[in-house]
Amino acid sequence: MGEIFFEITIIVCLAAFFSFIFRFFRQPPILAYILTGIVLGPLGLLNLQGQEVLVSLAEIGITLLLFMLGLELKFSELKSVGKASVIIGLVQIIFTSLVGYFICIVLGFSQITSVYVGVALTFSSTIIIVKLLSDKKDLNSLYGKISIGFLLVQDFIAIIALIFLSGFSSGESVSYVTFIILILKATALFVAVILASKYLVPGMVNRIAHSHETLFLFSIAWAFGISALVSSSFIGFSIEIGGFLAGLSLANSIESSQIATKIRPLRDFFITIFFVTLGMRMLISNFSPILIPGIILSSFILIGNPLIVMVIMGVLGYRKRTGLLTGLTVAQISEFSLIVIYMGNRIGHVSDDVVSLVTFVGAITFVVSTYMIINGNRLYRVLSPYLGLFERNKIKEKRMSVQPFEDHAVLIGARRTGGQILEALLKDENRKIVVVDFDPYIVEDLQEDKITTLYGDISDPEIQELAGIAKAKLIISTVSDMEDNILLLKAIKNLKKKPKVILLALEKHEAVELYKEGADYVILPHIAGGHHIAKILLDKDYMKLIERYKEKEMPLLFD
């Protein structure tokens, strides 16, 4: 027992060390975990004795991962992703899987292996994309909303694929009869889950929700208990699918978000072990057979997948910039891709070589796509002259035409801080204002209020020209993206008549850099907030003033 504890300690410490390094290079932690497995396994730096224990812990990790997915994934959310996301998601899955299948056939893989790899290549990592878009402050942009929408569609398809895989026994052949039996069993399971989530689970959870410890233990017991039931010989699905169904049955309870918060750290620990075990199974000593296929498939994911999405978005009437940025979000495979291959290997459909191949593709695409997404605006500026092919004449992504203003104010970002600034600017009836925002809902609302508004990113030269920054008197940006603000300042430096520029920064060092680049004033929210409170406290009737501000600001908190 002490030996296993020592080995797990080494795994966790080494994974934490690599995670710190990968975080510095803005890479996802999954890579750190896989590298940990490679160091401990194929490279032979440590001969682990408890590999069977690690495999069991890895299965718990997948079970908790799918439990969390079921907990946070509601079927009703499909209604909110939008028609474009559903179309893009489904068409991309079909094209990517077919192309991936034929590439594998050409490379000499068997039909069943080609099917597995083709399916694995279709999924993109929701976790990584949401993190990157959040860091870029692009979650509310049009391409961000579309990307999250079709990633949600991918997640549903991935779950369906995993359910079918989990119904096969080790070494069982694929037949029409098997598929029919699986469909009937899966349908019965989903009906049972829906009934339980509606009539049984909410009452049980509400009775124990007052105790945090009991709620946590109940959630774990429910996940493991349903997993054990579903994986029994009578039902015949895997424990991982049991975890998903357990989470799905809790998704409609009021306490679902609280349960997710409590389970997430436990899931992160066990899923770390899963990715470490994948790295340990990489066949480094016999790497040559998968090197060329890995590079070819990685190239398809990094280049072919974005092209497929760009073509679809062009047909749907989106601009080339939106198409490119959306396409970049599918330039990597998903953690679900690795789980699909792992389960295929466990039931004997694919070999260890295929597991190593897909893991290798995952490592390459995780690294390269991260930098592609982070530098999406720069890629667009470089590739823009060649992307006209993906933009149709009938563009649905309309931009309001702007009459040629002069000595006007340009406000970039009209949410929260920007909304307050816009309210102040509108009090001067003689001031001409152009608003630029990348949230399509904000743009629609402002256009309905007859406010001149452009949808887009201020780093886009076309948007700069439409907003008339060359003739503006004042430019205010409430966007905290340093890259966008620096690009805006560089564009202004080349103007003959330079407007006054007010920008926003979140950190002091960012403010210093913006001042060096020529900003006239930089808003630092924490400093501005401190000045605002100090001004209130200096007033004799500060208690009445506090109440007045509270009444004014409370509605904004629920906006």
Give the domain CATH number at 260: 1.20.1530.20
Range of the domain at 432: 409-523
Residue 427: left if φ>0, alpha if ψ -120 to 50, beta else—which one? alpha
Beta carbons within 10 angstroms of residue 556's beta carbon: 10
Q: Does the structure show a pLDDT above 70 at 400?
A: no
Same structural domain, 385 and 425: no
Tens of pLDDT, residues 188-206: 887 888 788 777 887 788 7
Last residue of a domain, one of 332, 356, 389: 389
Domain count for the chain: 2
Same structural domain, 432 and 513: yes
**Residue 191: partners with Cβ closer than 8 Å, 6 or more residues away:** none
Same structural domain, 368 and 448: no
Q: Does the structure show a pLDDT above 70 at 138?
A: yes
Same structural domain, 188 and 40: yes
Same structural domain, 260 and 359: yes
Q: Side-chain half-sphere of 516: how many Cα atoms within 13 Å? A: 7
Name the percent of the chain lying above pLDDT 90.
Answer: 17
Angstrom distances, CA of residue 488 to CA of 334, 411, 473, 483: 35, 12, 15, 9
Tens of pLDDT, residues 89-127: 889 999 999 999 999 999 999 998 999 999 999 999 887
Give strand pairing partners of 501. 475
Same structural domain, 346 and 428: no
Same structural domain, 417 and 376: no
The torsion angles phi and psi of 410, rounded to 5 degrees, stand at -110, 120
Same structural domain, 99 and 200: yes
Segment 383-404 mean pLDDT: 70
Name the percent of the chain lying above pLDDT 70.
Answer: 89
- The larger pLDDT score, comparing residue 71 to residue 169, is at 71
The whole-chain average pLDDT of the chain stands at 82
In a domain, 556, yes or no: no
| Helix or strand run (H / E) with residue 271 | helix 256-280
Q: What is the C-alpha R_g of the chain? A: 26
Q: Which stretch of 53-67, 72-86, 272-286, 363-377 has the lowest confidence by average pLDDT?
A: 72-86
Burial of 61 (0-12, 13-18, 19+ CB in 10 A): buried
In a domain, 144, yes or no: yes
Q: Does the structure show a pLDDT above 60 at 78?
A: no
Segment 230-253 mean pLDDT: 81
Rounded to the nearest 10°, the torsion over CA 491, 493, 499, 505 is 70
Q: How confident is the model at residue 531 (pLDDT cuts 50, 70, 90)?
A: confident
Rounded to the nearest 10°, the torsion over CA 166, 171, 177, 180 is 0
Q: How confident is the model at residue 48 (pLDDT cuts 50, 70, 90)?
A: low
Helices (H), 25-82: 29-40, 51-72
Separate counts of helices (H) and strands (E) for the chain: 25, 6
Q: Does the structure show a pLDDT above 70 at 398?
A: no
Contact 231, 242 (CB under 8 A): yes
Does residue 169 sit in helix, strand or coil? Answer: coil
Segment 39-66 mean pLDDT: 77
Q: How confident is the model at residue 173 (pLDDT cuts 50, 70, 90)?
A: low
In a domain, 543, yes or no: no
Tens of pLDDT, residues 12-33: 999 999 999 988 887 888 888 8
Contact 311, 390 (CB under 8 A): yes
Contact 412, 468 (CB under 8 A): no
Q: How confident is the model at residue 411 (pLDDT cuts 50, 70, 90)?
A: very high
Model pLDDT, residue 462: 75
Segment 279-294 mean pLDDT: 79
Instruction: Characterize 500-535 residue by residue with b for buried, 16 or more Cβ atoms within 10 angstroms of its Cβ, and e for exposed.
Output: ebbbbbeeeebbebbeebebeebbbeeeeeeeeeee
Same structural domain, 338 and 441: no
Segment 58-87 mean pLDDT: 75
Instruction: Single out the residue of 555, 498, 38 nearest to residue 284, CA to CA.
Output: 38
Segment 341-359 mean pLDDT: 87
Contact 331, 132 (CB under 8 A): no
In a domain, 394, yes or no: no
Instruction: Single out the residue of 223, 227, 228 nearest to residue 264, CA to CA.
Output: 223
In a domain, 203, yes or no: yes
Task: Please give the Cα distance from 276 to 9 (Å, whole number).
Answer: 13
Same structural domain, 357 and 455: no
Task: Please give the Cα distance from 157 to 274 (Å, whole number).
Answer: 22
Q: Return the structure tokens found at 290.
A: 């998968």
Segment 432-449 mean pLDDT: 84
Model pLDDT, residue 104: 94
Contact 241, 185 (CB under 8 A): no
Q: Which stretch of 163-167, 297-301, 497-501 has the lowest confidence by average pLDDT?
A: 163-167
Q: Does the structure show a pLDDT above 60 at 88?
A: yes
Segment 120-142 mean pLDDT: 81
Model pLDDT, residue 108: 92
Q: Side-chain half-sphere of 182: how many Cα atoms within 13 Å? A: 20
In a domain, 402, yes or no: no
What number of residues does the chain have?
559
Model pLDDT, residue 94: 92
Model pLDDT, residue 189: 80
In a domain, 531, yes or no: no
Last residue of a domain, one of 359, 389, 419: 389
Task: Please give the Cα distance from 219 to 396 (Å, whole number).
Answer: 46
Same structural domain, 42 and 180: yes
Give strand pairing partners of 503. 522
Q: Return the structure tokens found at 493.
A: 């430096």
Last residue of a domain, one of 354, 389, 424: 389
Model pLDDT, residue 174: 54
Q: Does the structure show a pLDDT above 70 at 5?
A: yes
Q: What is the CATH number of the domain that holds 429?
A: 3.40.50.720
Same structural domain, 96 and 214: yes
Q: Return the structure tokens found at 495.
A: 């103007």
Helices (H), 107-125: 111-120
Model pLDDT, residue 209: 73
